[in-house]
């Protein structure tokens, strides 16, 4: 921030609205930190309900990130090598959950994986019901967060280009070998950054969860649901939990940005 | 493969705002703005026309418990002189929002006296609270009773029961009736408003739910109702009060009179509420 990264001068007046934008985003977050009853915060966070919500949130977000990696990474790699019409359609489909209102995502999941849903009724016949279970929470989180992984990793792969892979192919490497020994090592930082974003988004998931998974302590009541549940009864505890969410989100997003910057510096000496 | 050199940025990630907007796009935006202005103007004109023919409907903002939704909407429709704007939600949610901005509503109606008591204690509503109607909890199952539920008993074992959270009036009623029956309530989800419980049962997602008898009636054929033994001793009293910092106190008082008067009582009774 201290050193302009480009020599092209900017008009000074641009700084005023820019500063307002920063304030608008920062002040509400600081407001939470100011209002948190710090002396009582440890006790508020140590209640069984808070601990359960925290544990459930971490567990489900790790699960959602793992599923997103397992499915989203291959999709990102495939998309980065395709430019056709179909790839364009797939890209649009992948982006939709990012801009969809969460409650719509929840309804869509409900009519798909619910007992009377297209997939849910088939699963139900096999005795598998995911409604009101922790699995439903993970499903909702994957639906809203995997797009972040796919988009960010694909963008990084595109920016990197395919020169190294071509070289490997020229030297006789099989596609799988080139993927394993060339593409994957190069994209690791981008994957780490994308996974952090995915984790942060999953952590904040609320609307789809409450619509699709319900709310029960220790099973489906993640941190955001717990905050929603107690915000009118115990504002102090809700604020303390909110602060936890803000800090974890800041750490993950900060980590993702740091990894990305480090990669850029290494690539362009 | 080598084509990727030519496409350093995927098309969907390129910044569209860096391209000069086409003439067609510009015209479309202008047309959109004009259309918006015309529509807004028409809306204003219609209101003004209404004011010329009769007295203008007076606005009143009503925060009401989710269980009162259908009845209150029907009651409001009986008086065209009032322009009633509703917000229906779980009672604690309404009190919380009123607490954050004490002049956001003119009338508060909660599903039980406990929640209204919290609002009164915080000085948000006038001490004079009027009883609207009473309600009792019932057990509902989806149409056809797929879970073969027979009541608050062993038939619920392994089935999906959904109730309101204990802090919400419908949840307080559910836990009270279970306690009276000596039944250990084990729901799969605790919802924040009664309409969410209703939705999860009508959609068949849950095998059973505990709602107010009026909610069960409103759902019609979509659910079957099972009586809860001892429910008559768990009476939730819906109450209505004027908000202390109401911005439309006259219209608010009139709405409260409408609800507690003959018209309101008739509508409430038709929705299955028990009247004082």
Q: Residue B29: its pLDDT value, please? A: 59
Q: Tell me whether strands B236-243 and B125-135 are parallel, antiparallel or unpaired.
A: antiparallel
Q: Does A180 score more than 90 pLDDT? A: no
Among B91, B188, B195, B209, the strongest candidate for a mutation testing the A interface, having the largest count of A CBs within 10 A, is: B188
Lowest-pLDDT range, A164-168, B142-146, B169-173, B213-217? A164-168
Distances (CA, A) of B258 to A229, B75, B131: 33, 7, 13
Q: Would you tell me how many other CB atoms lie within 10 Å of the CB of residue B101?
A: 9
Residues of chain A in contact with residue B92, where contact means CB-CB under 8 angstroms, are 232-233
Q: Which of A196-210, B29-43, B78-92, B191-205 has the weakest average pLDDT?
A: B29-43
pLDDT (mean) for A39-61: 93
The confidence band for B19, taking pLDDT boundaries of 50, 70 and 90, is very low
Q: What is the pLDDT of residue B28?
A: 64
Q: Report the C-alpha gap between B88 and A131 in whole angstroms.
A: 26
Residue B8: what pLDDT? 46
Tokens linked to B219: 């759902």
Asked if A130 reaches chain B (Cβ–Cβ under 8 Å), the answer is no
Asked whether the beta carbons of residue A162 and residue B1 sit closer than 8 angstroms, the reply is: yes
Give the pLDDT mean for B199-210.
92
The per-residue pLDDT for B190 is 94
Is pLDDT above 90 for B50? Answer: no
> For a pLDDT cut of 70, what percent of chain B falls above it?
80
Minimum Cα–Cα distance from A209: chain B residue? B189
Kindly report which listed range (A218-227, B38-47, B245-254) carries the lowest average pLDDT score. Answer: B38-47
Per-residue pLDDT at A234:
83
Q: Which residues of A touch B13 (CB under 8 A)?
A: 151, 155, 158
Region for A36 from its dihedrals, namely left if φ exceeds 0, alpha if ψ lies in -120 to 50, beta otherwise: beta
Write down the pLDDT at residue B119. 94
Residues 6+ apart with CB under 8 A from B53: none
- Is any Cβ of chain B less than 8 angstroms from the Cβ of A35? no
Under DSSP, the state recorded for A132 is T
Task: Please tell me which residue, A159 or A19, carries the higher pLDDT value.
Answer: A19
Distance between CA atoms of B69 and B47, rounded to whole angstroms? 26
- In chain A, the percentage of residues whose pLDDT exceeds 70 is 95
Q: Which residue shows structure tokens 């705002």? A: B17
Residue B51 has pLDDT above 70, yes or no: no
Q: How confident is the model at residue A30 (pLDDT cuts 50, 70, 90)?
A: very high
Q: Which residues on A lie below 8 Å from B162 (Cβ)?
A: 132, 214
Considering only CB atoms, which chain A residues are within 8 Å of B7? 83, 158
List of chain B residues whose C-beta atoms are within 8 Å of the C-beta of residue A83:
3, 7, 11
Block residue for tokens 């023919």: B53
Query: Which residue in A155, A163, A216 is closest to B189 by CB distance?
Result: A216
Of B8, B10, B92, the CB nearest to A161: B8
Whether B41 has a pLDDT exceeding 70, the answer reads no
Helices (H), B122-243: 169-181, 194-202, 213-219
Give residue A8's pLDDT: 79
Question: How far apart are the CA of B195 and the nearest CA of chain A, in angstroms?
Answer: 12
Name the residue facing A158 among B9, B92, B190 (closest C-beta): B9
Query: Measured between beta carbons, which residues in chain B are less than 8 angstroms from residue A169?
Result: 1
E strand or H helix at A213: none
The CA distance from B55 to the nearest CA of chain A, in Å, is 39
Continuous segment of H or E residues that includes residue A263: helix A235-267
Parallel/antiparallel/unpaired status of strands B58-65 and B189-191: unpaired
Q: Would an 8 Å CB–CB cutoff place A88 in contact with chain B? A: yes
Which residues face B237 on adjacent strands?
B134
Residue of A88, A158, A229 lying closest to B4 (CB–CB): A158
Per-residue pLDDT tens for A214-258? 889 999 999 999 998 888 778 889 999 999 999 998 998 888 888
Cβ contact B190–A132 (<8 Å) = no
Q: Which residue has the higher pLDDT, B43 or A133?
A: A133
Query: Mean per-residue pLDDT for B234-248?
Result: 93
B8, B92, B200 member nearest A159 (Cβ):
B8
For position B44, what pLDDT does the model report?
Answer: 41
Query: Which of 166-225 (A) contact B at CB < 8 A?
Result: 166, 169, 213-217, 219-220
Interface test with A, best of B190, B198, B208, B209 (most A CBs within 10 A): B190
Flag if B10 and A158 touch (Cβ within 8 Å). yes
pTM to 2 decimal places: 0.76
pLDDT of residue A214: 87
Count of pairs with CB atoms under 8 A, one residue in A, one in B: 88
Residues of chain A with Cβ-Cβ distance to B118 below 8 Å are: none
Q: Who has greater pLDDT, B234 or A70?
A: A70
Q: What is the pLDDT of residues A5-14, one digit of tens each?
A: 666 788 999 9
Q: What is the mean pLDDT of residues B253-276?
A: 92
- A131 reaches B (C-beta below 8 A): yes
Taking contacts as CB-CB distances below 8 angstroms, the residues of chain B near A88 are: 11-12
Report yes or no: A86 at the B interface, CB cutoff 8 Å.
no
The per-residue pLDDT of chain B, averaged, comes to: 84
**Rounded distance, CA A88 to CA A74, Å?**
16
Q: Cβ contacts (< 8 Å) between B3 and chain A: which residues?
A: 83
Contact at CB, A158 and B8, closer than 8 angstroms: yes
Q: How near does any CA of chain B get to the CA of A23, in Å?
A: 22
Contact B189 A215 (CB under 8 A): yes
pLDDT tens profile B77-108: 999 999 999 999 989 889 988 988 899 999 99
């Amino acid at each position: 921030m201290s050193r302009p990264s480009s020599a092209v001068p900017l008009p000074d007046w641009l700084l005023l609205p820019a500063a307002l934008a920063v304030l608008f985003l920062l002040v509400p977050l600081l407001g939470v930190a100011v209002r948190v009853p710090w002396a009582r915060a440890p006790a508020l966070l140590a209640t069984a309900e808070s601990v359960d919500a925290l544990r459930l949130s971490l567990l489900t977000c790790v699960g959602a990130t793992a599923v997103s990696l397992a499915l989203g990474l291959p999709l990102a790699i495939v998309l980065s090598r395709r430019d056709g019409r179909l790839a364009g359609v797939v890209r649009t489909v992948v982006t939709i959950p990012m801009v969809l209102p969460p409650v719509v995502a929840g309804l869509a999941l409900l009519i798909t994986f619910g007992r009377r849903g297209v997939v849910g009724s088939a699963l139900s016949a096999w005795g598998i019901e995911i409604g009101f279970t922790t699995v439903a929470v993970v499903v909702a989180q994957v639906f809203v967060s995997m797009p972040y992984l796919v988009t960010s990793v694909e963008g990084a792969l595109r920016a990197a280009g395919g020169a190294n892979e071509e070289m490997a192919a020229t030297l006789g490497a099989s596609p799988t070998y080139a993927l394993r020994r060339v593409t994957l090592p190069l994209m690791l930082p981008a994957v780490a950054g994308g996974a952090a974003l995915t984790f942060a988004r999953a952590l904040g998931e609320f609307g789809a969860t409450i619509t699709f998974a319900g709310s029960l302590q220790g099973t489906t009541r993640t941190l955001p649901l717990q905050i929603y549940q107690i915000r009118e009864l115990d504002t102090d505890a809700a604020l303390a939990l909110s602060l936890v969410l803000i800090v974890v989100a800041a750490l993950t997003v900060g980590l993702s940005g740091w990894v990305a910057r480090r990669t850029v510096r290494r690539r362009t000496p | 493969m080598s084509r990727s050199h030519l496409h350093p940025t995927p098309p969907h990630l390129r910044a569209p705002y860096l391209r000069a907007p086409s003439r067609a796009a510009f015209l479309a935006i202008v047309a959109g703005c004009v259309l918006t202005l015309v529509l807004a103007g028409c809306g204003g004109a219609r209101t003004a026309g209404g004011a010329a023919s009769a007295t203008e409907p007076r606005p009143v903002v009503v925060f009401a418990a989710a269980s009162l939704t259908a009845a209150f909407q029907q009651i409001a429709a009986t008086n065209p002189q009032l322009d009633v704007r509703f917000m229906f939600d779980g009672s604690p949610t309404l009190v919380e929002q009123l607490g954050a901005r004490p002049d956001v509503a003119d009338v508060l109606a909660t599903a039980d006296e406990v929640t209204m008591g919290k609002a009164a204690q915080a000085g948000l509503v006038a001490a004079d609270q009027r009883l609207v109607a009473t309600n009792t909890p019932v057990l509902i199952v989806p149409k056809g009773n797929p879970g073969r539920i027979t009541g608050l008993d062993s038939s619920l074992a392994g089935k999906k029961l959904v109730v309101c959270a204990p802090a919400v009036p419908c949840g307080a009623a559910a836990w009270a009736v279970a306690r009276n029956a000596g039944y250990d309530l084990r729901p799969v989800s605790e919802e924040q408003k009664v309409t969410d419980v209703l939705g999860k049962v009508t959609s068949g997602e849950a095998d059973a739910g505990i709602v107010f008898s009026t909610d069960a009636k409103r759902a019609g054929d979509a659910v079957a109702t099972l009586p809860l033994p001892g429910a008559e001793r768990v009476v939730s009293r819906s109450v209505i009060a004027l908000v202390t910092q109401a911005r439309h106190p006259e219209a608010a008082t009139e709405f409260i009179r409408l609800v507690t008067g003959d018209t309101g009582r008739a509508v409430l009774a038709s929705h299955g509420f028990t009247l004082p």
